[in-house]
Amino acid sequence: MTRRTLAVDRVLVLVTGLVLVAAGAGAALWQLRWLAGTPDRLVLDPAVADAPRQGWWTVALVLVGLFLLGLALWWLLSHLTRSRPTRMGLAGSSAEGRLGYDVSAVADAAARSLAARPDVTSVRSSTAYAGGKPLVELKATTSSRADVTSIESAVADVARELATATDDTVRLRVRVVVGRRAPAPRRVA
């Protein structure tokens, strides 16, 4: 869902909720006869009561129904998840050929590159889209004795490789988790 759709949803839900609460409270107060000056029964004006027999009534109902149907279809379509491209093009594409890359394959390659470092014990990769651009997310686990400087250097190398390979169109997010120390062996006396 886009931010605009989410904002429209929140406003519509708030307005609908307020209208329903007000209508419910008004109906309850009317039923309990706590509203001064209101009649015991609801009597429609003869012009309003006669409206369904008029010639324009059917046309008005059809137009309102079509409007509500269009609004409902728009609402449903705005909530569908949009498919994201899995293949992205590169700037070197021309009439002779098209250059591109698969976002998932790039994420896996970045994970393998980071996992090849000696202090890194495991790396998981995933892809997402933020701001219309692909985002590679890596979760790396290091040993408890890992050198922070070498891990920073390794992440910077992967970021540089990723930027070079994709013409700087893919963003990178890396989360490094420091592994726990292995428990000391117990002595049995």
101/87 Cα distance (integer angstroms): 6
Query: How far from 83 is each of 73, 117, 179, CA to CA, in Å?
Result: 19, 34, 36
Question: Could you give the 3-state DSSP secondary structure of residue 187?
Answer: coil
Reported as a single tens digit per residue, the pLDDT across 53-104 is: 888 989 999 999 999 999 889 888 877 765 555 666 666 666 676 777 788 8
- Residue 111 burial by CB count (10 A; 0-12/13-18/19+): exposed, middle or buried? buried
* pLDDT given for residue 102 in this prediction: 80
Token pair for residue 69?
């149907």
* pLDDT given for residue 139 in this prediction: 92
**Polymer length in residues for the chain:** 189
pTM: 0.49
Query: How far from 33 is each of 25, 37, 41, 188, CA to CA, in Å?
Result: 12, 9, 11, 83
* pLDDT given for residue 9 in this prediction: 84
* pLDDT given for residue 60 in this prediction: 93
* pLDDT given for residue 184 in this prediction: 59
* pLDDT given for residue 99 in this prediction: 72
41/44 Cα distance (integer angstroms): 10
* pLDDT given for residue 88 in this prediction: 65
Position of tokens 């093009």?
89
CA trace torsion 49, 53, 54, 58 (10° rounding): 110
DSSP secondary structure code for residue 173 in this structure: E
The terminus-to-terminus CA distance of the chain in angstroms comes to: 63
* pLDDT given for residue 63 in this prediction: 96
Q: How many C-beta atoms surround the C-beta of residue 18 within 10 A?
A: 10
Q: Where are the alpha helices (DSSP H) in 45-102?
A: 46-49, 56-78
Instruction: With a cut of 50, list the residues of the chain below it in pLDDT.
Output: none
